């Protein structure tokens, strides 16, 4: 029985409406259900005494209700205090509740509850825990037993709850017991666990399983599935690369010496500074790629301030000089506008017209931009993802440049190829990122790309001094800002939120603007955040760049694409809430001139160990690659790559940092399958990537 051919609607309780919800999770068959793996587990196998609870722990505990009352502190809530026989207390807080629940939680009720433990105003608390009332004759702190197995938590979608997902999975597992799921890896791959055993264990881990090994991903069942998933991903990106490399691209070579300088030579000669050795080396890599006649697939990595944009401009000059158009795509309007400004300053004096295309253009502006690109008048088109929309036509697109490529994903970053030149040629592609990608990730997630690294900063750049200071010393920092402005320098003050939030104790940018304006009456203070109209953002950034404002209060929209050499101090609020790479990107907004620059990480007291590790790493090093490795270790591949938003390289069970020791074996198995078992490639990719697997020939 082939489980991949049995529709999920064959399962009891899965009708058309439920099937539609499952379809959003890319689940159509029984095999899809089995490979829809738990994200994590909740341990309800043991009851933990209230006195042994700790913040951040998801736990099952129990006690007797000693008080239950409605509170009205800005917002109505129900607060119940439960106590165990040792006198330890825990607060249960509910913001959404009804009269029946309040009646159930009356004083004297014996309660068992499960939830995440947080630090409350007076004692530890759980907010909206799951709870049940237990019989009065049972001592809840002694006699209760937990469940027989770990509780899996699955990725779900709107209208599909965990309980429903577990029932669907249970039904699929019953079918698996009487059938086999096809083994697609070579027979030589055998770690003592069959694919069937691995799936049964991961979906329903029994009470006698090694819990630590399972939760940490060391269990043989987990490793069996990890190995196959990594093989599937590697085969996928190899297929993409092989498919593209079979195609033909324009042969772009530097012009033959004829007494006149090439456009690239003119561009470099117009600069007021020389290129670094690293920049020249990467430009040589690009020249070799462009001259081969096969599509270039090159990723340029460079730390903040290393000069990637100039390398991209040199590549654009080579393509334009050969008679081709260039598309430059960035993920945000602010970054795209920065590229527009840079490319216009460099190329328009050389007689090259730059086009501009973004999502929110007036009808006439958009019509004129599309016409200019289609007729080939705009030799270089800069824009956001609007560039690969269907109505955008190029006369002869020869090169695409994609910035901050990890925000787009494999399929988005390749979609510009469909707008290639006539005659069956496809454009070359240069992608670049200021977020250094750890080698671990590059080997797997970017196996379709050749990599070049700009590992040298321009001369005169100063190392940025980084300090971490608690928010209790906020007034000292404001005084430091005042001193910097008095010296003629400019300052960024970065906030994580635009407005006040009940769930995050982070200071809002708008409140911070008011606060700083009051404390610094002589300073010219402005605000920029993501919800502002594009023209307002552009105006605020322009005023700051022209030094018509001294202090820019901003959200993380300034993470990339802002270049103000006179800015020498950046304050980052709630630094404990951000990832390392994001903090490093924000820090890179200063140190872009010759002045000594500083970054202040402002944090709330009571840091978690993980937050301490992040902040400590940032204080110790300015090396983006070391920071990227540490970020990968702390947060995992999905967040470092931005794939939770973009949908690329999202692993179901693999963790590249945890499982990196498997990568050499993954390469060997992938090569063996490609050479001896090519018929297994598509089933493997389909099993693990589903609709995200490449449609070869159309990617």
Taking 90 as the threshold, does the pLDDT of residue 134 lie above it? no
First-last CA distance in the chain = 32
Residue 327: closest CA among 412, 423, 403, 264: 403
User: Tens digits of per-residue pLDDT, 281-299?
Assistant: 999 999 999 999 899 989 8
Please enumerate in sequence order all residues whose Cβ is within 8 A of that of 614, keeping only pairs 6 or more positions apart, or say none: 575, 576, 578, 579, 580, 583, 630, 631, 634
User: What span, in angstroms and rounded, lies between the C-alpha atoms of 131 and 100?
Assistant: 13
465-621 shares the fold of 262-454: yes
Cβ proximity of 425 and 581 under 8 Å: no
How many Å apart are CA 191 and CA 221, to the nearest integer? 9
Answer CATH for 465-621 from 3.40.50.300, 3.10.580.10, 3.30.930.10, 3.40.50.150: 3.40.50.300
pLDDT confidence tier of residue 640, bands split at 50, 70 and 90: very low
Residue 539 binned pLDDT confidence (cut-offs 50, 70, 90): confident
Q: CA-CA distance, 652 to 446, in Å (whole number)? A: 18
With bands split at pLDDT 50, 70 and 90, how would you rate the model's confidence at 435?
low
What span, in angstroms and rounded, lies between the C-alpha atoms of 587 and 580? Answer: 10
- Distance between CA atoms of residues 534 and 539, nearest Å: 9
User: In sequence order, what are the residues at sequence separation of 6 or more whose Cβ sits closer than 8 angstroms to the Cβ of residue 52?
Assistant: none
CA 367 to chain centre: 34
Residue 91: what pLDDT?
96
Beta bridge partners of 603: 470
Express each pLDDT in 375-400 by its tens digit. 999 999 999 888 878 889 999 999 99
**What does the pLDDT average to over 536-554?**
89
Q: What gap in Å lies between CA 695 and CA 621, rounded to an integer? A: 42
346 half-sphere exposure, CB direction, 13 A CA radius: 25
Confidence at residue 560, expressed as pLDDT on a 0 to 100 scale: 55
Residue 643 pLDDT > 60 = no
Domain 50-134 fold: OB fold (Dihydrolipoamide Acetyltransferase, E2P) (2.40.50)
Q: Please determine, for residue 145, whether its predicted confidence score (pLDDT) is greater than 70.
A: no
Residue 649 has pLDDT above 60, yes or no: no
Mean pLDDT calculated for residue range 675-681 = 94
**Mean pLDDT score of the chain:** 84
Q: What is the largest CA-CA distance in the chain?
A: 99
* 66 or 692: which leads in pLDDT: 66
Which residue reads 């009720």 in tokens?
A: 109
pLDDT number for residue 397: 92
Task: Single out the residue of 554, 613, 541, 543 nearest to residue 586, CA to CA.
Answer: 554
pLDDT confidence band for 558 (50 / 70 / 90)? confident
pLDDT-wise least confident of 449-458, 571-580, 686-695: 686-695
Q: What is the per-residue pLDDT for 328? A: 95
Contacts 24+ apart (CB under 8 A), 193-202: 193/220, 193/221, 193/223, 193/224, 194/224, 195/224, 195/225, 195/228, 197/221, 197/224, 198/222, 198/224, 198/225, 199/34, 199/35, 199/173, 199/225, 200/173, 200/176, 202/37, 202/38, 202/653
User: Between the CA of residue 483 and those of 52, 477, 523, what are the distances in Å?
Assistant: 49, 10, 11
Q: Mean per-residue pLDDT for 169-193?
A: 86
Query: What per-residue confidence (pLDDT) applies to 215?
Result: 81
Mean pLDDT for the stretch of residues 105-133: 92
Query: Out of 3.50.50.60, 3.40.50.2300, 3.40.50.300, 3.40.50.11820, which CATH number does the structure's domain 262-454 have?
Result: 3.40.50.300
Q: What is the pLDDT of residues 309-346, one digit of tens each?
A: 999 999 999 999 999 999 999 887 777 888 998 999 99
Query: d(Cα 407, Cα 241) in Å, to the nearest integer?
Result: 19
Give 138 or 58, the one with higher predicted confidence: 58
Residue 562 has pLDDT above 70, yes or no: no
Q: Given this model, what pLDDT does residue 421 score?
A: 58
Cβ-contact 628, 438 below 8 angstroms: yes
Spatial CB neighbours of 507, under 8 Å, sequence gap ≥ 6: 495, 497, 573, 574
- Percentage of the residues of the chain whose pLDDT score is greater than 70: 86
| DSSP string covering 376-400 | T--SEEEESGGGGSTT---SSEEEE
Q: In the prediction, which pLDDT does 417 show?
A: 64
Q: What is the pLDDT of residue 138?
A: 58
Give CA–CA dist 112/499, Å, rounded: 37
Average of per-residue pLDDT across 355-375: 90
Residue 141 pLDDT > 60, yes or no?
A: no
Instruction: Evaluate whether 247 touches 428 at the Cβ level (below 8 Å).
Output: no
Which residue carries 């993954």 as its tokens?
A: 666
Of residues 36 and 459, the one with the higher pLDDT is 36
**pLDDT tens-digit profile of 212-254?**
888 888 999 999 999 999 999 889 888 877 887 788 999 998 7
Q: Where are the domains of the chain?
A: 3-42+150-216, 50-134, 262-454, 465-621
CA atoms within 13 A on the CB side of 42: 18
Rounded to an integer, the average pLDDT of 154-163 is 89
545 vs 309, 341, 481, 513, CA distance in Å?
Answer: 18, 12, 18, 18
pLDDT at residue 371 tops 90: yes
pLDDT for 502: 45
């Amino acid at each position: 029985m082939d489980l991949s051919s049995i529709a999920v609607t064959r399962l009891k309780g899965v009708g058309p409406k439920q099937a539609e919800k499952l379809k959003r999770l890319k689940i159509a068959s029984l095999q899809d259900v089995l490979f829809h793996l738990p994200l994590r587990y909740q341990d309800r196998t043991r009851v933990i005494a209230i006195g042994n609870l700790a913040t951040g722990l998801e736990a099952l505990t129990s006690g007797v209700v000693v008080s239950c009352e409605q509170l009205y502190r800005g917002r109505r809530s129900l607060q119940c205090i439960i106590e165990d026989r040792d006198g330890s207390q825990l607060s249960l807080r509910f913001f959404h509740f009804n009269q029946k629940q309040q009646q159930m939680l009356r004083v004297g009720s014996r309660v068992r509850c499960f939830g995440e433990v947080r630090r409350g105003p007076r004692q530890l608390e759980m907010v909206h825990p799951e709870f049940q009332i237990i019989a009065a004759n049972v001592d809840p702190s002694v006699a209760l037993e937990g469940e027989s197995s770990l509780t899996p938590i699955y990725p779900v979608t709107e209208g599909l709850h965990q309980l429903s997902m577990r029932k669907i999975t249970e039904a699929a597992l019953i079918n698996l017991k009487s059938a086999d799921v096809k083994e697609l890896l070579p027979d030589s791959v055998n770690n003592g666990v069959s694919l069937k055993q691995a799936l049964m264990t991961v979906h329903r881990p029994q009470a006698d399983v090694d819990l630590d090994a399972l939760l940490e991903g060391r269990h043989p069942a987990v490793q069996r599935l990890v190995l196959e998933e990594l093989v599937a991903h590697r085969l996928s990106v190899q297929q993409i690369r092989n498919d593209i490399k079979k195609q033909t691209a324009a042969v772009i070579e530097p012009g033959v010496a004829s007494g006149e300088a090439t456009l690239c030579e003119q561009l470099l000669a117009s600069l007021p500074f020389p290129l670094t050795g690293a920049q020249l080396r990467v430009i040589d890599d690009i020249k070799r790629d462009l001259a081969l006649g096969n599509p270039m697939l090159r990723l340029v990595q460079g730390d903040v301030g290393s000069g990637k944009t100039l390398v991209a401009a040199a590549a654009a000059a080579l393509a334009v000089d050969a008679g081709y158009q260039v598309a430059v795509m960035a993920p945000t309007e602010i970054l795209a506008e920065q590229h527009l400004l840079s490319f216009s300053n460099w190329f328009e004096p050389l007689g090259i017209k730059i086009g501009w295309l973004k999502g929110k253009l007036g009808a006439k502006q958009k019509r004129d931009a599309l016409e200019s690109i289609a007729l080939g008048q705009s030799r270089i088109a800069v824009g956001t993802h609007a560039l690969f929309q269907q109505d955008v036509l190029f006369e002869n697109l020869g090169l695409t440049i994609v910035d901050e490529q990890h925000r787009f994903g494999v399929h988005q970053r390749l979609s510009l190829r469909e707008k290639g030149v006539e005659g069956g040629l496809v454009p070359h592609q240069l992608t670049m990122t200021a977020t250094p990608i750890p080698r671990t990730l590059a080997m797997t997630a970017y196996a379709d790309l050749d990599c070049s690294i700009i590992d040298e900063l321009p001369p005169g750049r100063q190392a940025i001094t980084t300090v971490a200071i608690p928010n209790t010393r906020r007034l000292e920092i404001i005084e430091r800002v005042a001193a910097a402005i008095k010296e003629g320098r400019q300052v960024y003050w970065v906030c994580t939120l635009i407005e006040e939030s009940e769930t995050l104790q982070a200071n809002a940018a708008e409140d911070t603007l008011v606060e700083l304006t009051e404390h610094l009456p002589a300073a010219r203070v402005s605000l920029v955040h993501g919800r502002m109209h594009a023209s307002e953002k552009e105006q605020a950034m322009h005023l700051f760049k022209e030094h018509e404002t001294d202090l820019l209060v901003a959200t993380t929209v300034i993470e990339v694409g802002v270049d103000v050499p006179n800015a020498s101090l950046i304050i980052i609020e709630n630094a404990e809430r951000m990832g390392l790479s994001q903090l490093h990107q924000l820090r890179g907004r200063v140190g872009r001139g010759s002045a000594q620059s500083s970054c202040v990480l402002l944090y709330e007291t009571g840091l978690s160990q993980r937050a301490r590790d992040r902040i400590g790493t940032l204080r110790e090093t300015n090396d983006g690659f070391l920071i990227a490795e540490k970020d990968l270790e702390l947060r995992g591949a999905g967040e470092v790559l931005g794939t939770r938003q973009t949908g690329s390289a999202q692993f179901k069970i693999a963790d590249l940092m945890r499982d990196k020791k498997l990568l050499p074996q993954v390469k060997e198995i992938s090569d063996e399958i490609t050479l001896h078992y090519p018929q297994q490639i598509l089933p493997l990719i389909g099993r693990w990537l589903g609709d995200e697997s490449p449609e070869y020939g159309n990617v």
